[in-house]
Structure formats: C-alpha cells, structure tokens
Amino acid sequence: MFERFTDGARKAVTDAQVVARRLGHDRIGTEHVLLGLVEGDGVAARVLGGLGVTSAAVEREILAEVGRGPLGSSDAEALGAIGIDLDEVRRRVEASFGKGALHWRPGRGHPARRPPMLGGHIPFSPRAKKALELSLREALALKHNYIGTEHLLLGIVREGEGLGMLALTRLGAGPQLIRARVLDALRSTG
C-alpha cells in the first residue's frame, strides 16, 4: 500500500513518527498522523488551514487528552495533588540540561533494552492502521491510483473514533465539513 503514497503522504506518515517520538508516545495514532498532515503542504494541510486547524491547536488537544509519555496526564494529576507541576518540572530540566534530558539513557539503573517509544520503529495503533487502510478505500472510491494527504485525512475522518477525529471535532472541524472541503479542493485542482 505504501508504494501508492505520494511524497507528501509519505512525509506525513514519517512526520507522524517524529511527533509520536517527540511527545514520548509508544504508538503512532491518528492524532500523530493528523499532526503530520497539518504540518505538511498538501491538500490536507490547505483544507485544515482553511478550517483554522493549526498544529499547535491539535497538539494542545492531544496533550489535554493523553498527555506526554512516559509520564501522562494521570501522573501529572497525581503529582499536582501534592503541589508538583509536571510540565514546569519538564521545562526547568530541559532549560538546565537541554531538550530531551528526561529521555531514557542506558546505564544508571536503566534497563539495557531501550523502550520502543525512544528509539527504532514505533508501531501504528490499531485505529491508525484502520485509518491508513481506509485512506486506500477513499482513494479507490475517488478513482485515484495514488494515496495523497487528502486520502489520509479522509481515512482519519472515516475511521471516526480516533483521537485525531476527536481533536478535529473539538476544533470545530466535523467530519461532514472536512469531507466537503476535501472534495471541493480536489474539484478545484482536478
């Protein structure tokens, strides 16, 4: 299937892995693919930009829902209950020791095996896999022989249950609106 991806779609998926790693998440979800699309320059980025969806807004929605890994929102809440602001701790540590200072390093009591989120391949979540599969179906339904960023976005919309769609909905970009705007964009460029 990936052989059908346009360069922009490949970049969005590659960027999704980068985003997942940056946020400390151990799987690539629909939310990470969405961020890859928003930060790109294809049809999906133009449609999302036209709807006022920004990468900063999507990332805020993601962090509000699941937090950063390996310490997530439930950890932040527990620490907050005793007066510790986890985000402030992260900011201060990174200000003093550099970006990524809290990431795993071998030795000093850490296991020899690197956690999957911090190096090597990060797997796709089941919902992200489904969205990618649905992007192929969307391309076929539109009689396209390629999978572009617009198809990836339509796949996220069609999957409908992932954090990517939740973030879009919270940002005022519901599934019908997105589908209509993508189809309009394709008609105007086709």
Alpha helices in 23-85 (DSSP H): 30-38, 43-50, 55-66, 73-81
What's the CATH code of the domain at 19? Answer: 1.10.1780.10
**Residue 156 counted as domain residue:** yes
122 contact partners, CB below 8 Å, separation of at least 6: 17, 20, 21, 25, 26, 27, 28, 116
Residues 130 and 60 in one domain: yes
Quote the pLDDT of residue 37: 93
- pLDDT tens digits, one per residue of 91-106: 776 677 666 555 544 4
Q: Is 103 exposed, middle or buried (0-12, 13-18, 19+ CB in 10 A)?
A: middle
Residues 38 and 50 in one domain: yes
**Residue 119 counted as domain residue:** no
The structure's pTM equals 0.72
What's the whole-number average pLDDT of the chain? 79
- Split into its structural domains, the chain has a count of 2
Whether residue 133 is predicted with pLDDT greater than 90 in this model: the reply is yes
65 contact partners, CB below 8 Å, separation of at least 6: 73, 163, 166, 167
- Give the pLDDT band of residue 114 (cuts 50, 70, 90): very low
Residue with tokens 């296991």: 111
| Domain that residue 86 falls in | 71-114
Quote the pLDDT of residue 93: 67
Residues 42 and 109 in one domain: no
**Residue 120 counted as domain residue:** no
Residues 142 and 54 in one domain: yes
**Residue 15 counted as domain residue:** yes
Residues 47 and 32 in one domain: yes
Residues 75 and 167 in one domain: no
